[in-house]
């Protein structure tokens, strides 16, 4: 059994999956301990609420509420599962955005700004083109492509600064994030797209359903009734698979990965490293813009235009999604769904128990924090020290003894 485990851990993919699962397991364990401690030390909760809280942390997405006796009931909850897939869509794409930059040796912390620019372009195009004269599906496509293009152009700016002036991309991304936040606020403040039809919502932009532009559901509303899910999740999955093929099966993708492994060696091999840096950040920005497009083209989401107050969290949440998946595009599909599942479980914890919403943030923060250790766990699983010693020689030469087949001294 030990030999089989050792043989399995020699595979890089197996170590990556195991490290991610261990990180998730430890994070969930920490979350359960937090829920237990809070429940036992709070007179308003008690052991019963603590036990309910632990069950919701581990399986909140399957909670169907409380039965007639007041006990928690579990089973397939189509609304929860559908909402999990809906919320996973932007997380998958922002995770891909961060992962593509990682593959090229860059840290794209500018996904929030790219997401905002994609949001602005998507909403402006979808709400400006009259669907009375242009078919709604065509308007949807134009808005989606506009969001991708806006995110790509905004992502290319830190790439250009890095490639041409060697300015650290983290600093450049932080600056472009806040420029985007204030630029989008200025564009929407006083615009014709503010919601004036619903009282008290003048600080919001119209939903795209106002113009009849919505992402198709094509039966998903029947499978997951009561949820917001649409076929945006399908587009996100297709994009993730496409990025996997691009990075692993194409010449351009190979060049991007080589540039990320060693920029100077890639340049020596004839690869245009400056072009690849700009291209990588543009692709990353386009994916973040696509995340915003699919979220707001759902037709049931509203955009609060005063974005200068805070940057969209979904842009930053792509970082732990990419870390947990070790920047593997296909694995990001599952880690994005997992992070979305935690959000649903947190809602259930708040709605069905006496715990407040902040306990959920603590649990998610613990898992996010531990996701950064997945690489260290992967190294430990691979037995790095053991392999290093083996590479230097299994046993040192003993003075006074000859090598096999040689003469003694």
**Where do we find the tokens 């198709």?**
216
Measured distance CA(108)–CA(157) in Å, rounded: 12
Measured distance CA(265)–CA(263) in Å, rounded: 6
In whole angstroms, how far apart are CA 24 and each of 258, 324, 334, 369?
30, 8, 12, 10
Strand segments, DSSP code E, in 48-159 are 63-66, 72-74
The DSSP call for residue 307 is: G
- Which residues of the chain are modeled with pLDDT < 70? 1-2, 5-6, 8-10, 12-13, 200, 306-309, 371, 375, 383-409
Structure tokens at 277: 């840096």
Measured distance CA(272)–CA(259) in Å, rounded: 9
SS (H, E, C) 201-248: CCCEECCHHHHCCCCCCCCHHHHCCCCCCCCHHHHHHHHHHHHHHHHH
Measured distance CA(60)–CA(72) in Å, rounded: 10
CATH classification number, 88-220+227-337, choose in 1.10.3470, 1.10.540, 3.55.50, 1.10.10 = 1.10.3470
Within the chain, which residue ranges are assigned CATH 1.10.3470?
Answer: 88-220+227-337
How does pLDDT run across 209-256, given as a tens digit for each residue? 989 999 999 899 999 999 999 999 999 999 999 999 999 999 999 999
Strand partners, 205: 194, 303
Position 233 scores a pLDDT of 96
């Amino acid at each position: 059994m030990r030999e089989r485990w050792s043989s399995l851990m020699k595979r890089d993919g197996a170590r990556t999956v195991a490290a991610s699962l261990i990180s998730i397991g430890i994070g969930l364990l920490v979350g359960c301990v937090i829920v237990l401690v809070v429940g036992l030390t709070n007179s308003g909760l008690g052991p019963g609420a603590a036990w309910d809280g632990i069950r919701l942390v581990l399986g909140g997405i399957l909670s169907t509420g409380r039965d007639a006796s007041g006990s928690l009931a579990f089973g397939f909850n189509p609304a929860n599962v559908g909402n999990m897939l809906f919320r996973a869509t932007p997380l998958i794409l922002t995770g891909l955005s961060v992962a593509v930059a990682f593959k090229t040796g860059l840290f794209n912390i500018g996904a929030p700004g790219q997401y905002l620019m994609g949001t602005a372009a998507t909403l402006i195009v979808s709400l400006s083109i009259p669907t009375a004269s242009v078919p709604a599906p065509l308007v949807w496509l134009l808005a989606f492509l506009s969001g991708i293009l806006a995110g790509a152009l905004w992502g290319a700016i830190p790439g250009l600064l890095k490639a041409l002036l060697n300015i650290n991309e983290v600093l450049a991304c932080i600056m472009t994030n806040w420029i985007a936040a204030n630029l989008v606020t200025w564009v929407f403040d006083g615009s014709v797209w503010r919601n004036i039809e619903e009282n008290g919502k003048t600080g919001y932009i119209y939903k795209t359903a106002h113009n009849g532009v919505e992402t198709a559901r094509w039966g998903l509303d029947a499978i997951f009734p009561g949820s917001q899910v649409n076929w945006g999740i399908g587009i996100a999955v297709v994009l993730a698979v496409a990025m996997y093929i691009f990075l692993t099966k194409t010449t351009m993708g190979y060049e991007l990965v080589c540039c990320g492994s060693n920029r100077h060696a890639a340049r020596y091999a004839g690869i245009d490293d400056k072009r690849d840096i700009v291209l990588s950040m543009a692709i990353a920005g386009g994916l973040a813009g696509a995340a915003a497009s699919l979220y707001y083209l759902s037709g049931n989401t509203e955009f609060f235009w005063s974005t200068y107050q805070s940057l969209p969290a979904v842009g930053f949440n792509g970082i732990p999604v990419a870390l947990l998946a070790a920047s593997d595009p296909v694995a990001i599909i599952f880690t994005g769904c997992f992070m979305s599942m935690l959000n649903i479980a947190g809602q259930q914890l708040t709605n069905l128990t006496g715990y407040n919403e902040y306990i959920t943030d603590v649990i998610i923060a613990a898992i996010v924090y531990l996701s950064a250790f997945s690489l260290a766990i992967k190294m430990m699983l691979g037995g790095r020290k053991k392999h290093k010693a083996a590479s230097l020689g299994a046993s040192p030469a003993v003075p006074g003894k000859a090598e096999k087949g040689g003469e003694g001294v």
